[in-house]
Amino acid sequence: MNLYPSIEYASPAEIRVLQEQKLSELLRYLQDNSAFYQRLFSQNGIDIENIRTLEDLQYIPLTSKSDLQQFNHDFFCVPNHKIVDYSTTSGTLGDPVTFGLSDSDLERLAYNEAISFACAGIKEGDLVQMMTTVDKRFMAGLAYFLGLRKMGAGVIRMGPGIPELQWDSILRYKPKWLITVPSFLLKMIEYAENHGIDYKNSSVYGAVCIGESLREQDFSDSALSRKIAEKWNIKLFSTYASTEMSTAFAECELQQGGHQHPELIITEILDENEKPVSQGGTGELVITTLGVEALPLLRFKTGDLVKAHYEPCGCGRTTMRLGPVVGRKQHMIKYRGTTLYPPALNDILNGFDGITVYQIVIRTNDIGTDEIIVKISTEQDCEELLSEVKDRFRAKLRVSPRIEIFPADELTALVYNPKSRKPIHFLDLRL
Ligand SMILES: [Zn+2]
């Protein structure tokens, strides 16, 4: 397969022509097959023949996560016997949202991952160790496997956790790449140091990272990224994706944001009034999937606040790049007159070597406002560390949340809960 599709190097005008053609196909497909969108079009008097340009999208109401949850079945465009894989994503109301994937959706997903990995620099013949969940109805793990297979790379499916087994596999099979949550690399380093493993001279060249941010908004390294690099000189690449998007935004070797695949997804970035932000502004990412058969989405609100970058990239690609997620809209914290998002808090905590594990808890206090509790574990002198952490919070965010020290094993069990696919660094207990 061609891992470097020509559309990603095409002019903005050519990209637009392709997207508008695919949008028309999608609208006809939804009109014919989606109970949810048939209803949405008729209730809002939308004639899909009038929606021709990307700008015309604004005449169609947005789709929210609660629509997906409430009317989950109505989003399915194919009968059940066409579904090859069921994946789920957490909903806003408790029950998970179910995604079905048809055979052609799995093929699309494989294509998406193959070109995304190629963007990060993985090549045919490379060996990759997958340190993420492959089962538990998790779409991403399956997508990685399919994508690597499609591009002709080899895969070692280790699943998450257990540094001992991860190292055994690295030393045995010598993978060039890892796919992992970046903070887990710190656990890998710690294990290697404690067990005399010469990790600095291992076969690992790079890691494709999910779930946690490696960059600041100006694409400089985040505290987490610096902390890993100080110990272990491997290349770290960010990817951003979600089950709903069924599409990834992957960094290229220049690491200037995640490249969009214009043949797979249309993006809009909207302000609080659901109008496009001015170029370079931060807003909510709204997506329209292209080429999805079972559960296509039109103008779906991801809840993620991001900034887009439109200048052509040094790698030669002309596609839009997404900066690191500023935060999830629903996780916005109003704290003593300041608006905060968890990634900014994570970044501060990741900057402390003395903090072995942490969790941020938000709850509603007696007077109905948000309260932040930062739970940390440390092997250092607590008093000294506490005052340093408080100072850093004040300096960077102008607020100082309550900090509580916890025994390491107790907090580790809360953060690395086996029932969760990702470490739980943020817990929202607000009413
Ligand atoms: Zn690039």
Could you report the per-residue pLDDT of 362-392, keeping only the tens digit for each? 998 888 888 899 999 998 878 889 999 999 9
Say how many Å lie between the CA of residue 1 and the centre of ligand 1.
Answer: 20
Within 10 angstroms of residue 283's Cβ, the number of other Cβ atoms is: 22
| Type of residue numbered 345 | L
Say how many Å lie between the CA of residue 115 and the centre of ligand 1.
Answer: 13
Say how many Å lie between the CA of residue 270 and the centre of ligand 1.
Answer: 24
Could you report the per-residue pLDDT of 123-175, keeping only the tens digit for each? 999 999 999 999 989 999 999 999 999 999 999 999 998 999 999 999 999 99
Say how many Å lie between the CA of residue 8 and the centre of ligand 1.
Answer: 10
Cα 315 to Cα 312: distance, rounded to the nearest angstrom: 8
Could you report the per-residue pLDDT of 170-180, keeping only the tens digit for each? 999 999 999 99
Say how many Å lie between the CA of residue 257 and the centre of ligand 1.
Answer: 8
Distances from the Cα of 368 to the Cαs of 125, 363, 371, 431, in angstroms?
57, 9, 9, 9
Say how many Å lie between the CA of residue 320 and the centre of ligand 1.
Answer: 9
pLDDT of residue 185: 96
Could you report the per-residue pLDDT of 13-45, keeping only the tens digit for each? 999 999 999 999 999 999 999 999 999 999 999
3-state secondary structure of 124: coil
Which residue, 367, 349, 295, is CA-closest to 89?
295
Say how many Å lie between the CA of residue 99 and the centre of ligand 1.
Answer: 30
Quick one: average pLDDT of 181-203?
A: 96
Which residues lie closer than 8 Å to 314 by C-beta, 6 or more apart? 254, 256
Residue 239 has pLDDT above 70, yes or no: yes
Say how many Å lie between the CA of residue 110 and the centre of ligand 1.
Answer: 21
Residue 9: phi and psi, rounded to 5, are -115, 10
Say how many Å lie between the CA of residue 313 and the centre of ligand 1.
Answer: 5
Distances from the Cα of 407 to the Cαs of 282, 300, 411, in angstroms?
38, 41, 6
Average pLDDT, the chain: 94
Tell me the two tokens of residue 49: 């023949």
Say how many Å lie between the CA of residue 216 and the centre of ligand 1.
Answer: 17
| Type of residue numbered 243 | T
Confidence of residue 92 (pLDDT cuts 50, 70, 90): low
Residue 62 has pLDDT above 90, yes or no: yes
Say how many Å lie between the CA of residue 254 and the centre of ligand 1.
Answer: 6
Say how many Å lie between the CA of residue 402 and the centre of ligand 1.
Answer: 41
pLDDT of residue 93: 58
Burial of 339 (0-12, 13-18, 19+ CB in 10 A): exposed
Residue 392: phi and psi, rounded to 5, are -65, -40
Residue 431 has pLDDT above 80, yes or no: no
Say how many Å lie between the CA of residue 13 and the centre of ligand 1.
Answer: 19
pLDDT of residue 262: 98
Say how many Å lie between the CA of residue 319 and the centre of ligand 1.
Answer: 8
Alpha helices, H only, 137-269: 139-151, 163-173, 182-194, 223-231
Confidence of residue 335 (pLDDT cuts 50, 70, 90): confident
Say how many Å lie between the CA of residue 155 and the centre of ligand 1.
Answer: 25
Tell me the two tokens of residue 44: 């809002």
Say how many Å lie between the CA of residue 253 and the centre of ligand 1.
Answer: 7
Say how many Å lie between the CA of residue 7 and the centre of ligand 1.
Answer: 14
pLDDT of residue 91: 62
| Type of residue numbered 208 | V
Q: Is residue 214 within 8 Å of residue 343, measured between CB atoms?
A: no
Residue 94 has pLDDT above 70, yes or no: no
Confidence of residue 246 (pLDDT cuts 50, 70, 90): very high
Say how many Å lie between the CA of residue 316 and the centre of ligand 1.
Answer: 6
Tell me the two tokens of residue 71: 């009317």
Cα 54 to Cα 51: distance, rounded to the nearest angstrom: 8
Burial of 428 (0-12, 13-18, 19+ CB in 10 A): middle
Cα 298 to Cα 308: distance, rounded to the nearest angstrom: 20
Say how many Å lie between the CA of residue 104 and the centre of ligand 1.
Answer: 28
Identify the weakest region by mean pLDDT among 81-85, 144-148, 339-343. Answer: 339-343
Residue located via tokens 């594990």 = 357
For 80-181, where are the E strands, in sequence order? Answer: 83-89, 97-102, 127-130, 154-157, 177-180
